[in-house]
Structure 1
Amino acid sequence: MAAVALAATMAVAVAAPLALLPADISAAPLPALADTPAWVSPVAPDPTRTVKNAVQGMDYLLADSQTRVAPDGTRQNFRHFAMRVRTTKGLDHAGQVDIEWDPTYQRLQLHQIRVLRDGRWLPWRDRVSARTLDREPEAEQRIYDGRKTLLLQLDDIRVGDVLEYAYTVNGWNPVYAGKQFGGFSLDYGSPVARIHNRLVWPTGRDVVVRASPGTPEPRRSVGGGQQELVWDATDVPAVQREDHTPSWFDPWSEVRWTEFRDWGDVARWGAPLYQPPAKLSPALRAEVDRIAGAYAAPAERAAAALRLAQEQVRYLSISMGTGSHAPRAPDRVFAQRFGDCKDKSLLTVSLMRALGLQANVALVHTEMREKLADALPSAGVFDHAIVQAVVDGKTYWLDPTQPPQRAPLDRIAPADFGQALVLSPQTTGLTRMETGDAAIFRRRIAVVFDLAKGPGHRAGFEVTTRYEGLAAERMRNGSFSENLPEYASKALKYYANYTRLAGIKPLAPLAWQDDEQANVVTTHERYDIDDPWERDKHGAPSKAGLPSPEMVDLLRKPEIALRKQPLSFGRGEELIMRVEERVPASWTPMEKDSDVRTFQAQAFSYLREFRMEGHSVHLTQTFRSKSDHVPVDQLAAHAKTLDQAADWIGHDLSWDLQDRSRSGGSGSLGKGILALVGMLALWIGAYHGSNWLSRRRLDASLARNAAANSASPHAPAHRSPETPST
């Protein structure tokens, strides 16, 4: 989540003919150029500077961000940028300027737009076409926040031109009850010749300011009833985020500030907004009576209240102005049957309290997770609202925006975001979300290779997969049961691409069983495959390579060469894979033999248990992830352990076993199998580990606020100088 401009998110975009712009863009006169506010400290770009290692055909000469908080709490955010078009590629990025603001509480002023060409600064106001966009970038997720974008289309921009513009957005969301917070970016995904950040603060208001480690101290001055802090840097190199880093990792440097003293102060701000009504509407009261009459146990009542919000209130976020954080009244939400995470959470809490249960709304950050504890306290650092319920002395974390969870309360996959702020007057700090075993994405796969007919015959191949808890909900919510033929086709195509399962054919339709009460989904697949026995140079059977593709997927070695940032790893995942190999009936029964191999790394463990007896070989493999990331200093050890474990995935069944009265046990499929296995997602289409988070619906207002207003330390994969922090 990026910490970007509170007042306006401005990005230089690819120029497009106005005739091709979307229909929701309305013509608008270019705002009159207003004088730069007197409080702004003038900073001029240096057009003679050349930026080293420039990207996108642009020299970013200046990124100037200044914020002023007046003694009465009014706020102004001044932004000033300059960039040179270095190549024709840069023309694609310099022809359009976007300035974003919220008209419900903000006012936009444009101060300057000019171009330096052939040594002369030329006014460019008359060469700009203006349009206003009702831009709703998250409309597909049913999220609407009412923000507008002023789109400036610039004519006749050429290679070598320097474009300079400045504007101010005035206003601060009244939902924060006058409390101020924000931040500045100290570097970006592109090199910048000069980054200038300035905070002007009234001396009568206390503020906490924190910068990233290693940041030089700001210049400080006091006078005229205000204090001033300035961070000014030149020749700032680009900072890039490597691929496959954990969601909470932020390589960029920032300055953040807040008037909130601590997390308890934030909770006291939010608790009144999320206070359930003293009296429910007749419609909601009837639902409370219905639940109370149908269920006696507190846990059953809590689960029923959660299901009501999940099943009867669809997700739709209309979060304009103060609606960015203030939920709508539960009576209204239930009457209209739609709401966002705030609305659905307060509705759930209201029902639970009316049923005599202890419950509160809690705020979380879906990407920062445990790292939320390191953030500077503010109301803008969160992007999602959930419910904390205490039932029979046990704490449950529940998400009313999830698809219906119909299992008993203790079998529901909990909301799991690391840290939460419970909105209660008694809250003094963040609460660690202890979710335990219920939050694990667990699969149990039983595979049978039936080789009883021996060489020259097709072999049986059966797969039974049991998805439990969170894994079951991901499968269930993926609507696979509603389109089993398509799901079965994907599974068949996956296997058909697997060399050691050549000639695969289904023997029966894919079977699906859903036990919602146990929160378990089970699938069963039956196939047969071509003769799996390999031949030696004399044409005699030698071995049958029997794969474990799901395990290979989990233990695939990542690219770590020259990596300098932590590596993301599947969080909270467990796979138990049991493979039975039924050997030819003509074999003499094998004597009992076994072998155990254990591999431990900082982020995972892998256990391989091998047993053979009679006419069956049994291979059990257990994978457990222990962390959501691998630290840089553990990358080499991690890769080494993956290599070692990969040598023991699956099994090669040797034909020589038929002549032995006692065997040495396990074989090794080896690293070569890694090249043969496609991604597991192509098979099951499910989501495991940390990947399931990408399916969540982020609440519009909170997500937008975290991106635009907060002191959140998160940033996008490529942070541009044109989208600075507040």
Structure 2
Amino acid sequence: MLKHILFSACLILAFPTTVLAEVFNKTTTPDWVSVRDVPAADHLSERFMHNGRETLLEDHQILIRDRGHSIFRRDVFQISTRAGLDDAGLVTLFRAREDALSLNWVRIHRGDAVLDVTEQLDFTVMQREPGLFDGIVTGNETLSAPISQLQVGDILDIAWTKDVVPPIFEHEFQHGLTEMPFAPVRARYHSYTISEARPLYVTRSPALPLTVTHKNGFVTKELALFDAEPPEFDLYQPIWKHPFGEVLVTTFSDWEQISSGLAEAYAPDRNLGPLAQRQVQEIIAASETETDRVTAALRYVQSTIRYHGDQIGAGGYIPREPYLVEERGWGDCKDKALLLISMLDVMGIRADVALVNTFRGKSLDTVLPGPWLFDHAIVRVHGAEGIYFLDPTEDFQGGRGPEIAHGDFGFALPLIQGGSTLVALPDLASVQPLEEVFDTYDFVNTTDVAAELYVDHIYRGALADQERRKLNAQPLTARGKDFLETLEYRFEDIEQIAPLKVTDDLDLNEVRYTAKYAIPQSTFEKNEQWTKFWLTPSKTKYQLPDPEDLSDKEAELPSSVFAAHRVRLMNAPYAINRPEEFTEDNEFFAFTRQGNSGENWIEAAYTLTVKQDVIPADQIKSYSESFEKYHANSDHWYNLLYKGHEPELTETVVFGNLKLGQLINFAFLSLFAAICFVAVRNSYRTTLEQQTAM
């Protein structure tokens, strides 16, 4: 993946003694830095206590040069408890080849005394290449040094400076930070100084004041916060919107500048190497359509080139030549993307690499441009069936051409000559549910077994891709255990009586599981399943957020949900009615319940489609009203009436709105009333005839 450093400042805020370094020096403070006063500590303040310490000052000062930039960082803490001593008593340095770091000072303020312990710190290598588990090599290693002299009650003051020259766009600048701190802070400053001849753009909320000063041909833009606390975390806040707010500072004027600036490095390269060249010719010979060729090329790159990223220096941003990637047999997202578009280029199919953000992509159109906003590379294909996107970093994907799934990235930046602005990734509309379940309960009602359950579970699209990855990582028996454990939450002692079977249609991108289970009589009786048997269409019942869990802020909806769940009951002890039809169709979701029936069976079919990915704050009430209607009809239960292994006719399954026993009683009463009516009528006629005769 591309290096994702938009929120590097956030990481430093989370771990205040963390820095990046290539060369570790101990030196004095640069003359361009302004040393600020430290706010007074308040030992009795619980409001600003966090992990046993109180953050008095966070000071970030950045000088933007014609080539690269310099960063000064200072953090001051009041150590309040032993927990604070453990949290802040270790200086940790993350080394990075592109940065040169100088440790300015590490000071301990104890009463009126000031102890400078900078020269006494003894750093040791604690970890090398922390990204190896993800297949990423960065050249980083972690150094740490304990501050042995630190005591509870001390004030710790740490300052460092580093010079950075980025491997791409070395004459430009971009920096991201959060509007609100991750922990309470007395005073927080971020200042950016640049020549008055150069533009510097800043996005922020109006609540965060910006001060601008001019001096000696330079302009300084400063953001300051005082007595600031982190906002409350909202579980349902959209993931692509930073919960702490965000500020972006950049010299880039537009997205086209970034697109065109990287276009040459990401242009198709026909020097593929012998294996890929041969593969291209084989694909052309075996394929009838362009879609066939695109699909085959994608599967070749996904299955042949292992994911491994050498992201040292420019390797984090510039792809390697396709022949080298093929020769090594590995590459990261940008390497695989370039290899794929190069293969397609040889086939006469136009394609280009596009950059995306895997977490924050849906908000890219709301922020200022910057190349370090992206952390992943995919491919845009200009095909005969239209423009569509593919992700060669994925694996075990099914489907063909434009039907192949890609991440919900929101926006992408194609890298082309002349430049491109952001483009919206299309939604992959499906005419069939992405997840579909058919549960059939056959009430065999033997001495030991109450019912047999047949499960037919289908995954499509991206969900089918996920299932293939699971099956590749574990045996089918393990997947069967997963399904069984899910059923055990509802039916204790349920047994699998037929092995789990799986079928996989790669072109249709459909993975299908079938299995058979036996539910013991003991489970039905213990849990009163006979008198209250829920259909439990879980794939449509538990997908939407409950309004009780939402705040008054906008909330995220699971936009990828398109699910169907059918439940059939066969050979129930007594005749039962199918559920009534119900529909709730609104701007947020569409939900339906349909009932079907046949000889000895009834069926309820549920579908749920989520229409949008967010509930605006001013529509929470409207969503709540729609949810209540949905929730009231999202399940159905029956009284199957089977106690002590003998049917009890006075209480049977719900039949319309009446129980069968009630219907029988009603029939007897009606018959008795009719007999009485006839008797009275005949008596009345006899009396009338006698009176007439007289």
Q: TM-score range by the shorter chain?
A: 0.7 to 0.9
Change beyond 3 A, Cα 1:510–1:615: same
CA distance in 2, matches of 1:666, 1:607: 24
Change beyond 3 A, Cα 1:459–1:175: same
8 Å CA contact retained: 1:593, 1:611: yes
Match status 1:478 vs 2:478: no
Name which of 82, 99, 102 aligns with 1:88.
Answer: 82
8 Å CA contact retained: 2:6, 2:373: no
Match status 1:152 vs 2:145: yes
Change beyond 3 A, Cα 1:225–1:427: same
Q: Aligned runs of 1:179-190 on 2, under 5 Å?
A: 179-190=172-183
Change beyond 3 A, Cα 1:352–1:123: same
Change beyond 3 A, Cα 1:650–1:661: closer
CA distance in 1, matches of 2:622, 2:252: 42
Name which of 42, 53, 57 aligns with 2:52.
Answer: 57
Match status 1:288 vs 2:280: yes
Distance apart, 1:254 and its partner CA: 4.0
> Which is worse superposed, 55-64 or 142-151?
142-151
CA distance in 1, matches of 2:441, 2:10: 62
Distance apart, 1:42 and its partner CA: 1.7
Distance apart, 1:55 and its partner CA: 1.4
> Which is worse superposed, 644-653 or 328-337?
644-653
Change beyond 3 A, Cα 1:387–1:654: same
Change beyond 3 A, Cα 1:564–1:189: farther
Change beyond 3 A, Cα 1:100–1:438: farther
Change beyond 3 A, Cα 1:240–1:99: farther
Which residue number in structure 2 is paired with residue 76 of structure 1? 70
Which residue number in structure 2 is paired with residue 97 of structure 1? 91
Report the residue type matching 2:27 in the other structure.
A
Which residue number in structure 2 is paired with residue 19 of structure 1? none
Kindly name which structure, 1 or 2, has the bigger radius of gyration based on alpha carbons. Answer: 2
Which residue number in structure 1 is paired with residue 371 of structure 2? 379
Report the residue type matching 1:597 in the other structure.
F
For 2:265, what is the secondary structure of its paired residue?
A: helix
Change beyond 3 A, Cα 1:509–1:204: same
Distance apart, 1:408 and its partner CA: 2.4
CA distance in 2, matches of 1:399, 1:456: 51
Which residue number in structure 1 is paired with residue 556 of structure 2? 568
Which residue number in structure 1 is paired with residue 674 of structure 2? none
Q: Aligned runs of 1:680-691 on 2, under 5 Å?
A: none
Which residue number in structure 2 is paired with residue 577 of structure 1? 565
Distance apart, 1:508 and its partner CA: 0.9
CA distance in 1, matches of 2:410, 2:479: 33
Which residue number in structure 2 is paired with residue 606 of structure 1? 591
CA distance in 2, matches of 1:508, 1:64: 65
> Which is worse superposed, 511-520 or 550-559?
550-559
For 1:166, what is the secondary structure of its paired residue?
A: strand
CA distance in 1, matches of 2:363, 2:437: 34
In structure 1, the gaps of 5 or more residues are 16-27, 668-726
Match status 1:66 vs 2:61: yes
Match status 1:491 vs 2:486: no
CA distance in 2, matches of 1:149, 1:381: 25
Change beyond 3 A, Cα 1:363–1:330: same
8 Å CA contact retained: 2:26, 2:103: yes
Which residue number in structure 1 is paired with residue 677 of structure 2? none
**Residue deviations 1:143-166 (CA, integer Å, cap 9, x gap):** 121134442321121111000011
The total of aligned residue pairs comes to 644
Change beyond 3 A, Cα 1:480–1:664: farther
CA distance in 1, matches of 2:277, 2:593: 56
8 Å CA contact retained: 1:62, 1:195: yes
CA distance in 1, matches of 2:502, 2:143: 52
Change beyond 3 A, Cα 1:80–1:457: closer
CA distance in 2, matches of 1:160, 1:533: 61
Change beyond 3 A, Cα 1:534–1:129: closer
In structure 2, the gaps of 5 or more residues are 642-647, 660-694
Change beyond 3 A, Cα 1:166–1:106: same
CA distance in 1, matches of 2:447, 2:638: 12
Normalising by structure 1, what TM-score? 0.81
Change beyond 3 A, Cα 1:646–1:86: same
8 Å CA contact retained: 1:496, 1:502: yes
**Residue deviations 1:549-598 (CA, integer Å, cap 9, x gap):** 3333325736526x3544333221111111111134x757x7x8762112
Q: Aligned runs of 1:420-431 on 2, under 5 Å?
A: 420-431=412-423
For 2:302, what is the secondary structure of its paired residue?
A: helix
CA distance in 1, matches of 2:36, 2:482: 59
Change beyond 3 A, Cα 1:483–1:278: closer
Report the residue type matching 1:576 in the other structure.
A
Q: Aligned runs of 1:538-557 on 2, under 5 Å?
A: 542=531, 544-555=533-544, 557=546
8 Å CA contact retained: 1:7, 1:169: no
**Residue deviations 1:312-358 (CA, integer Å, cap 9, x gap):** 10000110111111111111001000000010001111111111001
8 Å CA contact retained: 1:411, 1:518: no
Which residue number in structure 2 is paired with residue 507 of structure 1? 497
Question: What do you get for the CA RMSD once the two structures are aligned?
Answer: 3.3
For 2:83, what is the secondary structure of its paired residue?
A: helix
CA distance in 1, matches of 2:394, 2:94: 31
Change beyond 3 A, Cα 1:652–1:112: same
**Residue deviations 1:73-109 (CA, integer Å, cap 9, x gap):** 2310110110010111111111112233422x22111
CA distance in 2, matches of 1:246, 1:555: 14
For 1:175, what is the secondary structure of its paired residue?
A: coil
> Which is worse superposed, 268-277 or 653-662?
653-662
Change beyond 3 A, Cα 1:574–1:254: closer
8 Å CA contact retained: 2:77, 2:155: yes
Change beyond 3 A, Cα 1:117–1:553: same
Change beyond 3 A, Cα 1:478–1:8: closer
Identity of aligned residues (%): 25
**Residue deviations 1:215-266 (CA, integer Å, cap 9, x gap):** 2131x22232211122233212223433343221213244322222111111
> Which is worse superposed, 541-550 or 348-357?
541-550
CA distance in 1, matches of 2:197, 2:7: 27
8 Å CA contact retained: 2:99, 2:163: yes
Answer 1 or 2: higher relative contact order, Cα 8 Å, separation at least 6.
1
CA distance in 1, matches of 2:459, 2:334: 30
CA distance in 1, matches of 2:591, 2:203: 42
Which residue number in structure 2 is paired with residue 695 of structure 1? none
Change beyond 3 A, Cα 1:637–1:593: same
Change beyond 3 A, Cα 1:640–1:454: farther
CA distance in 2, matches of 1:364, 1:29: 28
Match status 1:518 vs 2:508: yes
Change beyond 3 A, Cα 1:453–1:438: same
Which residue number in structure 1 is paired with residue 248 of structure 2? 256
Report the residue type matching 2:32 in the other structure.
W
Report the residue type matching 1:59 in the other structure.
E
> Which is worse superposed, 317-326 or 622-631?
622-631
> Which is worse superposed, 81-90 or 271-280?
271-280
Q: Aligned runs of 1:376-415 on 2, under 5 Å?
A: 376-415=368-407
CA distance in 2, matches of 1:312, 1:603: 41
CA distance in 1, matches of 2:658, 2:592: 14
Q: Aligned runs of 1:14-413 on 2, under 5 Å?
A: 33-49=26-42, 52-70=47-65, 72-103=66-97, 105-133=98-126, 135-218=128-211, 220-413=212-405
